Amino acid sequence: MRHRRSALAWAALGATLLLAGSTLAGPKDAQAEAARKKALEEDYLETRFDDADQRLRAAIKACGGDACSPAITAKLYMALGSVLAGGKKELSDASDAFVEALSLDPRAKIDPDLASSEVSFAFDQAKKRLGIGGKKGGKKAPVEAPDPAVERDSPEPVIEKKKPATDEGDLDKPPEPRPEAPPPAEAKRNWITLAFSPDVAFVGGDDVCSKDSQASSHLFCLRKDGTHYVGTPTPGNADKINTGAVLSTMRITLGYDRLIGERITLGARLGFAFNGAHDGGASFLPVHVEARFAVWPGANPFVGSGVRPFLFLAGGVAQIDSRVDVDLLEDGATCGAKKPSDTGSDCTKPSRDGFLEPRKQTVSAYKQAGLAFAAGGVGVQIAPSPGIAFHLAVRGGITFPSVVPVITPEAGFALGF
């Protein structure tokens, strides 16, 4: 009996040392844990099962020797088994990985976030092979040698030796069906949008209603009665637009966007613009045509509901008219005033269209910008359900060949299918 107690004491001491050694951190524990998280939280969740498999095997290889603690290495094998069973459906290889994990850390358990019928089945097979949990088919406990002090008068009982059952053949059998979580929703790849967007242009200038300015600077002036002003304003006296922001044209657009991959959309907009110059023979293009490219940060932003920020580039055809009221003083000499220097002296000669201009009047000056534009912007889409979304955005851009800076806020509604 003394020999037996001595053997048990040495076994207890060995188990204590093994447990203590499993808690010591290895020099590559941090790198191994980072690789495990990347394999499960990125590769596995994005269904890149081969990438997850390769990343975990590389981490296990890097942990060779004493580079990692047994506990960390066991976690790598548990992750590998979960990927092989849950992702690649390779149940036999998954069971081998779980055997390695349990050999290093008998307390190893399945991550609840990775649990599935396949993973649980492969893990149970691994425990059977190791005899963990009292299940049959594992390694048998060693038979203690008989104590010499015990008399051997009676014959020893015959112990039938059985071939260890590994249940290897069961690994190829499919597990019993269990209720599974519904498959992840697919992204809506086609989107129809309806949006409203007012333009805010930055304009300015001197002598804006002179003949030369209207001919060469994309300006158009209208009298109060809606006729085209073709008089001769006094140079340097009023007739100017102080540089600043002006609420300009407004537009309603109908658009289509197609999701390419997970985070990029390509689309087009066709719309109608209004609030431009239209009287007195003014030329205004009410059509809006636009191409748009957008990037949506985040993982699978179009799967499910939620908030979706985006960045976009846009370009196309549009005219942006900005209206500013301008005070004019008609040139007295040109309009035939009896006392040209007296601003109260009325004109006596009609202008080129036969209209007798008042000596003082207020006209509407339109800065006409376009017909092409380029812009970039940011926005956010709020989706209360996977196929319905509202968005707010703002973009900044320029028009050409008549160069005018423009800021355009946008609000809209979208349906996905």
> pLDDT digit string (tens) for 229-251?
999 999 999 899 999 999 999 99
> What's the fold here for domain 190-329+367-416?
Porin (2.40.160)
pTM of the model as a whole: 0.56
> pLDDT digit string (tens) for 128-181?
988 886 444 444 444 344 444 444 444 444 444 444 444 444 544 555 666 665
Distance from C-alpha of 219 to C-alpha of 242, rounded to nearest angstrom: 15
- The rounded mean pLDDT for the chain is 85
Q: Report the share of the chain in percent with pLDDT over 70.
A: 82
Parts of the chain belonging to CATH 1.25.40: 20-139+167-172
Confidence (pLDDT) at 185: 72
Q: 195: part of which helix (H) or strand (E)?
A: strand 190-206
| 228, pLDDT greater than 50 | yes
3-state secondary structure of 394: strand
Q: Which of 204, 207, 217, 205 is nearest to 239 (CA)?
A: 207
Distance from C-alpha of 209 to C-alpha of 233, rounded to nearest angstrom: 7
Confidence (pLDDT) at 65: 77
> pLDDT digit string (tens) for 332-366?
999 999 999 999 999 999 999 999 999 999 999 99
The alpha carbon torsion through 84, 88, 92, 98 (nearest 10 deg) reads 10
CA end-to-end span of the chain: 78
Burial class for 344, CB neighbours closer than 10 Å (0-12, 13-18, 19+) = exposed
Confidence (pLDDT) at 184: 61
Can you give the C-alpha Rg of the chain in angstroms? 41
> pLDDT digit string (tens) for 270-295?
999 999 999 999 999 999 999 999 99
Q: Which of 406, 371, 408, 410 is nearest to 203 (CA)?
A: 406
| 378, pLDDT greater than 80 | yes
Distance from C-alpha of 398 to C-alpha of 156, rounded to nearest angstrom: 101
Q: Identify which of 13-17, 129-133, 175-179, 401-405 has the greatest average pLDDT.
A: 401-405
Class of domain 20-139+167-172: mainly alpha
Of residues 208 and 108, more confidence is placed in: 208
Encoded amino acid at 409, one letter? P
Q: Which of 235-244, 253-262, 372-381 is least confident?
A: 235-244
Parts of the chain belonging to CATH 2.40.160.20: 190-329+367-416
What is the full DSSP assignment across 222-248? E-TTSPBP---BPTTSS-EEEEEEEEE
Q: 14: part of which helix (H) or strand (E)?
A: helix 2-22
